[in-house]
Amino acid sequence: MKIATWNVNSLSIRLPQVLDWLAANPVDVLCLQELKLTDDKFPLAALEQAGYPHCAVFGQKTYNGVALISQHPLSDVLRNIAGFEDEQARVVSATVQAPGGDLRVVNGYFVNGQEPGSEKFAYKMNWLQGLHRQIAAELAGPAPLVLVGDFNITADDRDTHDPQGLRETIHHTTQERQAFAALLGLGLVDAFRLFDQPEKSYSWWDYREMAFRRNKGLRIDHILVSPSLKARVKACTIDRSPRKNERPSDHAPVIVELAEPVPPHGP
């Protein structure tokens, strides 16, 4: 069972790359962020053709927009955060009826926040609080949970190419990192850090100043799993290869592989 997350920075532009990537990486579920299109423009037919007939889409015009595309049926689709009013389409959740049992997948495009102290930063912190409450509630449900997406937060200094120079700037503030840590405090585990990883592993690089070639990036796309899934995580990797495409997204996909659950002993 594989689940991936990818901020595509416009699905209209990136659809051919998404289809190519799925052909090479036939994950069970792909979570997309920054669709930048409305639901009526979502390429349902092309994705069904590619083996992904089950989609939970939450789009909007110009900005944001998230979707969960799946080989397996989906149920209990929730758009945005329950009890948190938001004009922006940033979260879609669904229960995946996977062969090894139901999995609750929450796919978020977290707020950027622009600059600490700004109105947008305040929105980011409020949004994070709303998400935290939502995740706490979801964890009380029956299915194991996976929280994926573009978090727009570096978890710690390993996740940034310039920990000193970027100290307390956006994506690096103590407040943001505390919000990330608070999610871990609910019992979630950063799947990527369950394994030895190469130093300077990042999931985003600025389009400017040849940042990708110089590996001046950030790890801000994450996959967190609920406690019951921790023992099932077999691998978690970042696939840098799509960043080498001609017109790439500025983000790379992150993939987690889960082992099948151990069936309970019979009598």
- Residue numbers at the binding site for DNA (CB under 7 A): 7, 9-10, 12-13, 34, 36-37, 61-63, 112, 114, 120, 150, 152, 170-171, 204, 206-209, 218, 220, 247, 250
Q: Of 28, 52, 150, 202, which is the active-site residue?
A: 150
**Shortest separation between residue 164's beta carbon and DNA, angstroms:** 16
CA distance 107 to 81: 11
**Shortest separation between residue 140's beta carbon and DNA, angstroms:** 30
Which residue, 158 or 234, is less far from DNA as judged by CB? Answer: 158
The amino acid at residue 95 is T
Which residue, 31 or 139, is less far from DNA as judged by CB? Answer: 31
109 catalytic, yes or no?
Answer: yes
Which residue, 48 or 61, is less far from DNA as judged by CB? Answer: 61
DSSP-assigned letters across all residues of 27-90: -SEEEEE---S-GGGS-HHHHHHTT--EEEEE--SSS--EEEEESS-EEEEEES-TT---SS--
Instruction: Judge whether 218 and 171 are in contact, CB under 8 Å.
Output: yes
Q: Give all strands of the β-sheet with 2-7 in edge-to-edge order.
A: 54-58, 66-70, 29-33, 2-7, 254-258, 233-238
150 catalytic, yes or no?
Answer: yes
**Shortest separation between residue 61's beta carbon and DNA, angstroms:** 4
Q: Of 109, 159, 190, 221, which is the active-site residue?
A: 109
Active site residues per annotation: 109, 150
